[in-house]
Structures are given as structure tokens and as C-alpha cells.
A and B are shown apart, each in its own frame.
Chain A
Amino acid sequence: MHSFGYRANAVVTFAVTILAVMCSIASLSDNFNASSPTAEIKVLNINWFQKQPNGNDEVSLTMNISADLQSMFTWNTKQVFVFVAAEYETPQNALNQVSLWDGILPSKENAKFWIHTTNKYRFVDQGSNLRGKDFNLTLHWHVMPKTGKMFADKIVMTGYRLPDSYR
């Protein structure tokens, strides 16, 4: 019972178990974080709004996105992935979610931000349903920890509307 092999095995098993317990505790501590995120998105301009040759509507818009996600950061947070999606419904689809912009917040200092941007990804419908369409803009965040469980949530902002005709 005292050979090198047995001792090495016992030490390694114990070390791995302790590491696993530490990772779980680190992750659990994230649950106690009380967060108060805020966000605001203004659509400054509809740059153009056309129907593509394949029949799908496409929009290009410029937005002002500002948010404060500093309260989401804990000591166990590696980064927060944030994205803005347009959400709307059409006769054919009960739900459409199209990501327009995303970014990475690598630290708490970056988590209070303001950005003026056109949509990073193309806003294309399945079909030609966007004229006069009411849509929501949601700011989603995905907290990626140094170790453990990932958290995601969102803020929904309503009241946006696309023009009634192409331009």
C-alpha cells in the first residue's frame, strides 16, 4: 500500500477532486450576484430598405446603442458577450430573431458603453414582410465565466417601426 504508484494515484485523484469542488464553488458564487443592467437603443436612420432579387426584404439602419452592464461582472467573469437582435413576427413565422450587432466586453471598465453603428450583420427577412413592420430591439448578454455555469438574459425594448415603403 505504500508503493509510488498507489501514492501518486491517491494524490492525483484527491487533487482533481479538490479542483472540481473549487470550480463548482466559484461558479455557485455567481448566483449571489445581484445585477442591475440598463440599456437604451435609438434608431437614428433607416439608410436603405429594398427588396432583394430573391424576394427577401433587407434593411440597413444606423443605431445608437448604450448600456451599462457593469453589475454583471464578478471575480469569476471572463467576458460578457453582448448582442442586439431585432425581433418581430410575420404571417409565416411566429418568431424571427435577427442579430444586428454584437460585441465583447472583456472587463468591467468596458461594460458601460455607447456606440454609434450601422448593423454589423444583414437584416434580411424570410420573404417580403417588413414594410410598416413593428419590431422589438433586444439587448442580449451572455456572461462567460472563468469557470462554471454561463448566464444569459436580455432587455426587450419595444416601439420600433420600419417605413411603410421601400427607400
Chain B
Amino acid sequence: MIMKGLQCVSASKTPAVVVLSESMEPGFKRGDVLLLHMSKDPIRAGEVVVFDDGRPIPIVHRVIELHERRNNKTLDLLTKGDNNSLDDRALYTPGQLWLHEHHIMGRAIGFVPYVGWITIIMTEKAFAKYLIIGGLCLLVLFSQK
């Protein structure tokens, strides 16, 4: 319910993402949760966007270069993580030089620190997942009165 509400408010299928890498430090650290929004305003340089270029996990980086075509208003975008020395061209599909609007899933508008560690622990350390789910099952079983 909360997820659906967040999806409505943020106008995006993914209203929040957990930061998984250190490529945007010290601004965003691993375990922070980014709140996303996708408004109709055109994307501009400097915005932190979440994009999905066919990779298993979406990437959150900043737009450092932008070219907007005069005739059809399409955008060519180049992104880079604040903490990386190189731009993201090496991450895009080979041969692709620019991102386009359809690659962008949302722009980051706010953030909450540390809350995402639960997701990271659950996905990266399988035993923690079993521990937590096992613990929840036990709780359910033993709370019958």
C-alpha cells in the first residue's frame, strides 16, 4: 500500500532506490535510500538521475553533458559518478555514446541515510535473509494464543 502510494506521488515505477556503490561518495553512501521523482520538466545538466541501460541494477549518477536537438527536442545525455574519474561511456552498451530520455527512470530529489542497509544485507548475505525470514516464521507460529 505504501509502495503504491509512493509510486503515485513520485510518478515513477521505482519511487526509491538503495545506493549500492561508492561512485557518488561522499554525497551518497552505500546503504542510503534515494527518493525519486519523474516530472515532465526536461532533464538538465547537474541533475542526479537513475538510468537503466540493460544492466541488472540501475545506476544513479549525475548528468554532466547534455545536447538537445532543435527539431524534435530529443536529448543526448552523458553521465558520471561524482566519485569516478571517468564518465560513464564505458558502462553504456558498447558503441553507444549517449543516453536518451527513455533510459532515465527518475531523478533523485531527496534522500534518507542508512535505511537501505536492510536491503543490502538481505541481497548480499544470503544467510541474513534466511535468518530474518526464519525468525518471522517462528514469530508467527508462536504468537498464536
Q: Which residue of A lies closest to B45 (CB)?
A: A97
Which residues in chain B, 38-89, are within 8 Å of chain A measured between CB atoms?
44-48, 62, 64-70, 73, 76, 82, 87
Query: 1/0 contact trace for A121-147 toward B, CB 8 Å?
Result: 100001000000000000010101111
Which among A89, A99, A140 has the greatest number of chain B C-beta atoms within 10 A?
A99
* Segment from A32-40, A65-73, A148-156 that makes contact with B: A148-156
User: If the complex has contacts A93-B68, A93-B69, A150-B109, are A3 and B143 also in contact, measured as CB distance less than 8 A?
Assistant: yes
- Compute how far the CA of A89 lies from the CA of B43 in the bound complex, rounded to whole angstroms: 16
Chain B min CB distance to A129 (Å): 11
Q: Which residue of A lies closest to B32 (CB)?
A: A147
Interface check B99, CB cutoff 8 A: no
- Compute how far the CA of A21 lies from the CA of B5 in the bound complex, rounded to whole angstroms: 17
Interface check B27, CB cutoff 8 A: yes
Chain A min CB distance to B43 (Å): 10
- Size of B's binding interface in residues, CB under 8 A: 30
Instruction: Return the contact of B70 from the options A91, A99, A148 (Cβ within 8 A).
Output: A91
Interface check A96, CB cutoff 8 A: yes
- Are A79 and B45 in contact (CB-based, < 8 A)? no
Instruction: Return the contact of B67 from the options A91, A96, A121, A150 (Cβ within 8 A).
Output: A96
- Are B64 and A94 in contact (CB-based, < 8 A)? no
- Are A81 and B69 in contact (CB-based, < 8 A)? no
User: If the complex has contacts A92-B69, A97-B65, are A85 and B110 also in contact, measured as CB distance less than 8 A?
Assistant: no
Interface check B139, CB cutoff 8 A: yes
13 additional A-B pairs beyond A3-B145, A154-B46, beta carbons within 8 Å, are A93-B67, A95-B66, A96-B66, A97-B65, A97-B66, A99-B64, A104-B27, A144-B27, A146-B113, A147-B112, A147-B113, A150-B110, A150-B111
Which of B's residues lie within 8 Å of A, judged by CB? 26-28, 44-48, 62, 64-70, 73, 76, 82, 87, 108-113, 139, 142-143, 145
Nearest 3 interchain pairs by C-beta? A97-B45, A99-B64, A95-B68
In the assembled complex, 10 residue pairs joining A and B whose CB atoms fall closer than 8 Å, in A order, are A78-B27, A81-B27, A83-B64, A102-B64, A104-B27, A104-B82, A121-B65, A126-B76, A142-B48, A150-B48
